[in-house]
Chain A
């Protein structure tokens, strides 16, 4: 136990770094993912094609491969980073964006066709249909899966710890090496700090889900 208390500053630092990685990548992924989803449902075939290819490839690529690409392969192609954090954020947000795009798209698709037809039949234009009828309904179905994707993002950020970024997992590995006799306590401490982030988010997801569920 005392090994956890002694190292509390390190745990705290790791927690903040993990939070930082997750929040920054989360915001970038939300923007990129929404754009990809918009491209996926747009009438322009080229955009649909590009978005489909992006989502299919990134969704089926292991995160480790994305990290390996950003941290190991990119620098050898002449793209260098001052800090590994930047590479980690690129990998995390590019990977997560594909899942967000899928969730947003399926949210739009979950709105019954009749809703848009009814809106158009009373004379609404494309913008009105989208803003007043489709998006409010789509968002309600999408928010719980989006929170779940963000939970996965928090857990996925641990991979950064293996690629030279010091966050919760990275510090955990360091502390485990430094305290060879108390590895179990050290790692259980790391687990506890991850749960501190993921369990409240999970509770939030199921609360939102119950609140916004639409009876159709």
Chain B
């Protein structure tokens, strides 16, 4: 491992590091052992609590919850992406009375908690909780997608637009034919990373009583008894984590694979995927 902080360790440093590793491992294992012991005292690991996973209906309920989670996320992503593209074009328009209202709308949407938008749609328009969840996700992610794509366009070399205008394209044609395709490809890692956020935010549907995965856990715990809450919760959390890690890996893979078709390559996925604004758009590598 190369680090900016220290040299490749020599024999003495390696010995110190080995001792450190052993001590660290013992401490961490000790902590884990203590947690497991505490949990075992509560009877968490009794076989009968985990035996429910041999029942088909438990899995059916979990699968229904997962299906609800994924369908809301997929629908929201499919609607939010084109809307984000459109808002991005409005936001960078040369006409001030288009640009400024678009900017106000985007700042408004970005500055609010997603769950508040879900509640708003649910109560004000009296929709079903599915529509409330999708609408909340669409409103928020439209703003984020627009900002990501805008960052992509602004990170393109200036010559790309200039060349387009020089050969007689209109401003709009240059945006559509030259800048947008490159910006989208360039920001692909960030866009995919945002999908993880979108997927995670689906679980806010729990709060507006949408029957997603976490709600399925709650329903099952109410039905089967609290003794089974921990096992079911544990499995549901594991499902979330596995899916999200897969999507994160996809973003990293796209980034590594890079792209030679855009001027300046592909931008790295932001590390802070919760951040409402893109952390790094200055082209730093």
Question: Would you call B207 and A65 a contact (CB within 8 A)?
Answer: no
Q: Which residues of the other chain, B, contact A90 by a CB distance below 8 angstroms?
A: none
Q: How far is the CA of A129 from the CA of B3 in the complex (A)?
A: 12
Known A-B contacts A43-B17, A60-B196, A159-B207; A187 and B5 likewise in contact (beta carbons under 8 Å): no
One of B156-164, B239-247, B253-261 contacting the partner? B239-247
Chain A residues positioned under 8 Å from B275 (CB to CB):
99, 145, 148-149, 151-152
Across the interface, A213 reaches (CB within 8 A) one of B5, B237, B282, namely B282
**Shortest CB distance B62–A (Å):** 14
Interface residues of A in 137-151 (CB under 8 A from B): 141, 144-145, 148-149, 151
Q: Is the CB of B42 within 8 A of A78?
A: yes
- Taking the nearest CB of chain B, how far is it from the CB of A189, in angstroms? 11
Contact partner of A152 (CB less than 8 A), chosen from B24, B115, B274, is: B274
Q: Which of B93-101, B170-178, B183-191, B198-206 contacts A (4 or more CB under 8 A)?
A: B198-206
Residues on the A chain within 8 Å of B202, using CB: 62
Partner pick for B274 among A41, A99, A108, A173, CB 8 A cutoff: A99
Tally of A interface residues using CB under 8 Å = 72
Which of B13, B114, B124, B279 gathers most chain A CB within 10 Å? B279
Q: Which of A50, A65, A72 touches B237 (beta carbons < 8 Å)?
A: A65
Q: Are A176 and B123 interface neighbours, CB within 8 A?
A: yes
Chain B residue, CB-CB nearest to A119: B4
Contacting residue for A194 out of B4, B17, B111, B279, CB 8 A = B111
User: Are A44 and B111 neighbours in the complex by a CB distance under 8 Å?
Assistant: no
Chain B CB within 8 A of A162 CB: yes
Residues on B close to A: CB < 8 A? 2-7, 9, 13, 17, 20-25, 28, 38-39, 41-42, 44, 107-108, 110-116, 119-120, 123-124, 196, 199-204, 206-207, 214, 217-218, 226, 229-230, 233, 236-237, 240-241, 244-245, 248, 270-277, 279-280, 282, 284
Q: Could you list some 24 contacts between A and B, CB below 8 A?
A: A41-B3, A43-B17, A50-B24, A61-B244, A62-B202, A65-B236, A68-B206, A68-B233, A73-B233, A76-B229, A77-B42, A99-B271, A105-B271, A108-B4, A111-B4, A113-B4, A152-B275, A158-B116, A159-B115, A162-B206, A162-B207, A187-B116, A198-B110, A199-B107
Given contacts A60-B248, A155-B276, A158-B115, 18 further A-B contacts (CB under 8 A): A50-B24, A61-B200, A63-B203, A65-B236, A72-B218, A73-B229, A76-B42, A99-B271, A99-B272, A102-B271, A113-B4, A152-B272, A169-B119, A194-B116, A195-B108, A195-B111, A198-B276, A202-B276
Tell me the A residues contacting B by CB distance below 8 Å: 41, 43-47, 50, 56-57, 59-65, 68-69, 72-73, 76-78, 99, 102-103, 105-106, 108-113, 115-116, 120, 126, 129-130, 134, 141, 144-145, 148-149, 151-152, 155-156, 158-159, 161-162, 169, 172-173, 176, 183-184, 187, 190-191, 194-195, 198-199, 202, 205-206, 213, 216
